[in-house]
Structure formats: C-alpha cells, structure tokens
Amino acid sequence: MEILSVSQMRKADKAAIDAGRPGLDLMQAAGYAVGEAILARWDKRAVVVLAGPGNNGGDGYVAALHLKKAGWPVTVYGLGEKADLPGGGQGDAAVFAKRWRAKVQPLEAALDVIAGLENGDDLLVVDALFGTGLARPLEGAAKILAELLTVSQAQHNAPAVVSVDIPSGLSGDTGRALGEQSGAICFHADLTVTFCRPKPAHALMPGRGVCGEIVVADIGISDSIVAGQGPVSHLNDINVWGEAFPRHDADIHKFARGHVVVLGGETMTGAARLVAGAARRGGAGLVSLAAPEKAFPIYAASVDPGTLTPSFKGVKGFSALISDARKTTCVMGPGAGLGAGQGKTTRAITLAAINAGKRCVLDADALSVFQKDPDVLFKALKAEAKMLGGLVATVLTPHGGEFQRLFPDLARRYARGGTRTKHSKIGITLEAAKRSGAVVLFKGPDTVVAAPDGRTAVTTNAPRTLATAGAGDVLAGLIGALLAQGMPAFEAANGAAWLHGEAASAFGPGLIAEDIIDELPAVLDWLDEMLG
C-alpha cells in the first residue's frame, strides 16, 4: 500500500474534489468511518469529542453526529471561543459544526472531565483537534489534555482515545512529536482512523507506537489519483516484491538457485554460521562459509552438513575463492572482525568482492571499517553498478550506530528533528541510498529500505522479539539468498525483511535467532500459496 506525505494527501483531496467529488462528501465519509470504527469496537459509553478549528474538527463533528444518532451520549468541546466555528464559520467543517445542535463546550472544560475521571471505562475521547494540520507543538488546553491522558494511560485508568487521521501533536511526515527535542508531547491513541492511505507517521516509530490500532478508511479517492501523487513510500508487503520472488521450475539445478559465499571471522564464529543457515533456508542452492585458516577447525566442526567450508588465507585467498563465476553472492560483515589487523582485512575483502562484481550484502563490521572514509566504499559501489550496466547489486544493512558511522550528517539531521519528509527515517535512508549507490536497509522496528532510484518501503511487521542477538545476521543471510536467486536488490531487501518479521511473529515469545531460521519453511510455504 502506498504511503502519502501530508502534502501529497492534501493534493489527492484537491484532485478528488476537482474531479467532481464534493469536499463535503469526503468529510462526511471520513467522519462516518470514525464513528463506525468506534461502534464496531466499544460498547456504548459517554463520548467526549475534542474538535479543532480545521477539517480535522469537521471530521470530529461528523463522528459526533453519527454516534449521537446511534444513541451514544456525546459532548463536543471546541478549541477557541464558544461561538467559534471551524474555519471561521466558513467551509465544509463549519457546515457539519452547524448541524451539531447541542451546546459546544470550550476545550478548557474538558480538563475537569479528564482530571476527575474515576473509571476510564466510562468514557471515550475522540481526538479531532489537529490531525496533520498542525506544524507546531501542542500548547494550552490541548497540551494539558494530552498530558493528562498520558498520565492516566500510564496508571491504566485512561479512557479509550480515538484519533482522527493522526494523533494530534504528531508530525504526519516524520512520526515524531512536534517539538520533541524540547519535551513536547502528542496524544496517544488506542485507535487511529486515517483516510485513503497511511501517512509516514503511521509506519515510522515512534508515531506508529502512539497510533494504537490503525484503520485506513476508504473515503472514495481513486487509486489513479493516489498514483498521480508519486507516493513518498510504500508499506512493505507482498505487493512490493512478490512479482520478483523466485519461482523455480521442477528441473531447477542447485547452481541455478545461486551460490552464496559467507565471510567468516576468526573469533566471532557464531555470526557467520547464522548467516549461512539463513541463506540455506532462504533458498540458495549452495552456501559456502569461507573460513580463515586460523578458524577453519571451528567452522569445519560446527556448521551444518550441507554448508561448504572452504578455507582461505588473506585477501588474495578470498579473491581466488570467489573467482568462480557460479559464486554470485557474498555476505560480509557479521563477526568479520575490526581489531588487531582484522579490520584491515575485512575492508580489503569487502572491496575485493565489490570490485569482482558480486552481489553483496554488507552488514556490521563490513560497514564499520569504512567509518573514517565512507566515500571509498561509495566510489567502489558506484563503479560496480557502472560495470554491471547500471545494476545496483549491493545491499547495506546498518543499524542506527552503523548508519551514523557511514552517514554522520544524515544522522545529525534526524537527531535535530524537523517536520518535513527529509527529516524522517524515510528521507535520510533515501538520501543514504543515493549517496552510496547501494540499496540501504536501515534496520529497526520501522525498517526502511531505499534504492538510489528513489523507491522506498517501510516494514511494519517486525515484532519486539526481534531485539535479540543474531537476528540481524539471519536477515543478512536471507537477503543474500534472495539476491543469489536473482531478485533485484530493492525487492530482495524488502522480501527478506518481511519474511524475517513473519517468521519471528510465527514463533512468538522466547525467540532467539535460530528460531527465525526454523520458522522459515512454514512462512515460505504460506507465501508459495499466496503467490500461486
């Protein structure tokens, strides 16, 4: 599913209106969807609608009217003077506000209601204050309400909170609270009902975490209008990479499924073994764990029987090892080593694989060794793409610390904050991909994958159990397996990230990295059925 930026969504709204869909109809559909989502999830209770001065408030009035018609007791609290109407009494929002015949209380009056609440189950709060229409931190009564609700949520005595479009105080384009660096906050919702398509805030952390359940309601904006906006990103699902996923004929040969070479380290041998195991489960026809001579006995005694364990000595030895054209893919970095001369070797081997035109996955130490001069890596990656006729063959898989080492200025931009897409994780990952000439998979609970050609996707299916040692090594091996089977780098990175999350979710609590590998066959079987 496409992700639209705030400005793209506004343009889509306008395009729909220009195409003949009245703005009143769009607002009616949006507010109705909010009301229906509430009716489907909660029993009847008192409802407080916090209505802002713009279209978000208009959606709130429609929801209030719908809930009242269903027999729910509803009170509307408006931002501003009692007599004020959204849009200064003009526009679509004001039309629905005028249809609300009951008295509109000032927003400040809601403070006593929330502060004096004894049982959270007695009340439901609809946050229709600002949505994506705010560009500054919450202030005044709106800020105090957000603080009161956050405290009551921490004490487990909070009313249910339903946000319209996005929780007020959250940046729709970055997923971070507006003014986060100065301690500003936003509403925390149990349910967020957004319209047409998700915004970056629904996919990126911490925004996704404060949205609660997310419902994307169809309000009648056509797919062609959405496509015309050039969506800022996509949610990572089968639609992003399914057509490129390897489907093999019955007479397939193992070499046709690709040969992955995993660079082993001298001391941290477990990481490379996890990579190799994931590459085998991910479908690679052959996997070789290239063992440094000093560590060969360890690898030979501990790898799975189906994994080849050739040994090598130094950069020349590794280069000779991968000279066979059938060895198409290299995964390098996990446990490769940084100290006592190991870093120099890791760096040279990484460049050798790139210069040889191999499809590469660079993780962990294979990234950190370029901290002082990342441009050396980027130059090699761009030269490889040129040598391969424009094919981007390498995936970089940094976590936050590794991203900062390679792209310190982009990490600083993100840390400083901002409200535009370029300040978001999507924005900085895309710029990193363009700068490096590689596909960049920026790991995290909101993994973002970006390609130099401008495509991006956000993975949202990663469970919290993936915060475990070795999970990143498994992901690197999965990417390597898909690259070896011919998937383009962008699709391979996204497909692997999705499979990684699904396998972890399928296992459940108590997950360790090996469990992800063990769950892959069931997930792949389900995927095979889905792809037909």
Which residues are part of a known binding site? Answer: 55-59, 127, 131-137, 165, 168, 271, 335, 399, 443-447, 472-473
Helices of type H across 216-360: 223-227, 238-241, 269-281, 296-302, 314-321, 342-355
Residues at the annotated binding site for (6S)-NADPHX? 55-59, 131-137, 165, 271, 335, 399, 473
Residues at the annotated binding site for K(+)? 56, 127, 168
- Give the tokens for residue 518: 């063990």
DSSP code of 171? -
* Three-class SS state of 213: strand
Residue 140 burial (10 A CB sphere; 0-12, 13-18, 19+): exposed
Residue 382 burial (10 A CB sphere; 0-12, 13-18, 19+): middle
158 φψ region: left (φ > 0), alpha (ψ -120 to 50), beta (else): beta
* Nearest to 132, CA basis, from 218, 59, 215: 59
* Nearest to 194, CA basis, from 132, 150, 133: 132
- Give the tokens for residue 488: 């383009």
- Give the tokens for residue 502: 């699904």
In degrees and rounded to multiples of 5, residue 287 shows phi and psi of -135, 125
The three-state DSSP-derived secondary structure of 410-439 is HHHHHHHCCCCHHHCHHHHHHHHHHHHCCE
The answer to whether residues 508 and 365 touch, using CB atoms and an 8 Å cutoff, is no
DSSP code of 164? E
Residues at the annotated binding site for AMP? 443-447, 472
